[in-house]
A and B are shown apart, each in its own frame.
Chain A
Amino acid sequence: MGVSCGCVERHDHAVLTVTDLTVRYGRAVHALQGVSLEVPDGAVVAVLGGNGAGKSTLLRAISGTLRLHRGTIDAGEITLQGRRIDQLDPATIVRSGVVQVPEGRQVFAQMTVADNLRAGGLAAAPERRAPARERVLDLFPVLAQRRGQRAGLLSGGEQQMLSIGRALMSDPKLLLLDEPSLGLAPRLVTRIGEIVAEINDQGTAVVLVEQNATMALRVAGHAAVLEVGRVALAGTTEQFADSDEIARLYLGGHAESEEQARVEADRAATSRRTLSRWSG
Chain B
Amino acid sequence: MTEFLQLTVSGLGKGAVYALLALGFVIIFKATDVVNFAHGSLVLLGGYVVIATKDILGYAGAAAVGIAAAGLGALLVERLLISQSKLADPISLVLLTIGVDVIITEEIIRRLGVTAPFLGGPLEGAPLRLGNIVVFRPQLIALIVGVVLITAFFLAFRYTGWGVAMRAQAENREATALMGIRSSWVTGSAWLVAGLLAGVAVLFIATQDFSGAGLGRGTHAIALAAFPAAIIGGLDSTGGAVLGGVIVGLTEAYTAGYISFDFSESAIYLVMLLVLVARPVGLFGTRELSRV
A90 touches B171 (CB 8 A): no
Q: Which A residues touch B180, using CB under 8 A? A: 90-91, 93-95, 99, 122-124, 170
A108 touches B174 (CB 8 A): no
B173 an interface residue at 8 Å Cβ cutoff?
yes
A151's nearest neighbour on chain B, judged by CB, is B171
A123 touches B179 (CB 8 A): yes
B168 an interface residue at 8 Å Cβ cutoff?
yes
Number of A-B contacts (CB under 8 A): 73
B165 an interface residue at 8 Å Cβ cutoff?
yes
The complex places the Cα of A12 from the Cα of B142 at a distance, in Å, of: 66
The complex places the Cα of A93 from the Cα of B179 at a distance, in Å, of: 10
The complex places the Cα of A211 from the Cα of B218 at a distance, in Å, of: 63
The complex places the Cα of A139 from the Cα of B194 at a distance, in Å, of: 40
**In the complex, which of the residues A68, A89, A94 contacts B179, with contact meaning CB atoms closer than 8 Å?**
A94
B178 an interface residue at 8 Å Cβ cutoff?
yes
Total chain A interface residues with beta-carbon distance under 8 A:
30
A164-216 with Cβ < 8 A to chain B: 166-167, 170
B131 an interface residue at 8 Å Cβ cutoff?
no
B167 an interface residue at 8 Å Cβ cutoff?
yes
| Interface flags, B173-216, vs A, CB<8A=1, else 0 | 11111111110000000000000000000000000000000000
B164 touches A65 (CB 8 A): no
A122 touches B178 (CB 8 A): no
> Known: A108-B171, A108-B172, A109-B171. Is A63-B178 also a contact (CB below 8 A)?
yes
Q: Which A residues touch B177, using CB under 8 A? A: 65, 68, 90-91
**Extra A-B contacts (17), CB below 8 Å, given A115-B167, A122-B180, A123-B181:** A65-B174, A65-B177, A65-B178, A68-B173, A89-B182, A91-B177, A91-B180, A91-B182, A93-B180, A94-B180, A109-B171, A110-B167, A111-B171, A119-B165, A120-B179, A122-B165, A124-B180
Contact surface of B with A, Cβ cutoff 8 Å: 87, 161, 164-165, 167-168, 171-182
Nearest first, the 5 A-B pairs at minimum CB distance are: A123-B180, A94-B180, A106-B175, A90-B177, A119-B168
